[in-house]
Amino acid sequence: MIKTTIIDVAKEAGVSKSTVSRVIRGDITSVREDTRKRVQEAIRKTGYKQNALASGLRTKRTHTVLLMIPDIVNPFWPEVARGVQDALRKEGYAVVLANSDWDGTIETDFLHRARTHCFDGIVINPARVTDQQLLQIGIPTVILGLHEDFPSFDSVGNDTLAGVRLAMQHLYDLGHRKIGLISGQYASRGRSARLKQYLSFLSDQNLIIEENDIVHCPYGQHHGYEAAKRLINQNHPPSAIFASNDILAIGALQALHAAGVRVPQDLSLIGMDDIYPASVTTPPLTTIAKFKYEEGREAARMLIDRIDRQTSKHPKTITFAPQLIIRGSTKPSTKPY
């Protein structure tokens, strides 16, 4: 099969090669309308496809962005990815999706590939990479999530700490005074910010902090199941449980069903993230909604501004306020205190 070139298009349209180039670049100021239409028709007739690699060598742009997320299995991240892709696609960028699995080796490998292949930008929820290491990569980067340890970069995320307080306040307002926590933890990070906020809320309300009411576990549905079993099998189980995310909460809900604990009649349960499965459980899960699509979209827009150098030197942060979504898994407490 003979490859069509820009010269073939120029011959078909009866114009110069430079005129075809200007039309392909979208230059509408130096090419007459009738000429532009003639070139576009020639492109259609000849089947010409622009060589992105060659174009990139000329413009020093590949129009390719790396999106690095930690856990593609978690339904939270596909919505973020969709927001990133939709915003970048409108600007002519392709997105390469990488899943780090919270593994620093995988993360580092993809970041170096982005540099080797001259990607124009990176959108990343960091697993183990540091602020300094990202600076050394030398590619415009936006951080997904609100991380204090990445001061050199723009970031966009949801206010998780405010979300924890919303969840705890909801349970408190329903009369719950013994509230269990399924505290999800990542191997790559230290003490959970959700845990700190949980403890802070209990302290503010002068509630007793009981170690047995806190179960630490990795994120994952099975871990939520096992954590809930531990919470309800103690001598004085909590009347409500807050799970660090919806996946843990769904696992907990399964454990409660299996143990014959009625939700919410016997125990209230609340999660965080408002992933789609949370709305179709039995009962539907009360949760804290985060703006997932919007987080991805705004991260992409910030990145485009960085690539085009249309923003200030100082890093910016966009923060979304979470929302309480009340469904069927919470109700007023009937337990005396």
Does this model's pTM top 0.95? My answer is no
Return the pLDDT at 57: 47
Same domain, 169 and 280: yes
Return the pLDDT at 159: 96
Answer yes or no: are the C-beta atoms of 97 and 156 closer than 8 Å.
no
> What single-letter DSSP state applies at residue 28?
-
Answer yes or no: are the C-beta atoms of 90 and 47 closer than 8 Å.
no
- Residue 59 domain-assigned? no
Answer yes or no: are the C-beta atoms of 41 and 13 closer than 8 Å.
yes
Same domain, 275 and 169: yes
Answer yes or no: are the C-beta atoms of 34 and 66 closer than 8 Å.
no
Same domain, 196 and 254: yes
Same domain, 137 and 230: no
Same domain, 175 and 236: yes
Return the pLDDT at 335: 78
Q: List average pLDDT for each run of 10 residues in the chain, which is 337 residues long.
A: 78 88 72 87 83 53 92 93 95 93 94 92 95 95 93 96 97 97 77 90 95 94 97 96 97 98 98 96 98 98 89 88 98 83
* Sheet containing strand 94-99, strands side by side: 94-99, 64-69, 121-124, 141-144, 154-158, 317-320
Q: How far apart are the first and last CA of the chain?
A: 81
Same domain, 249 and 275: yes
Q: What's the CATH number where 140 sits?
A: 3.40.50.2300
- Residue 20 domain-assigned? yes
Return the pLDDT at 43: 87
Same domain, 172 and 71: no
Number of domains in the chain: 3
Same domain, 88 and 203: no
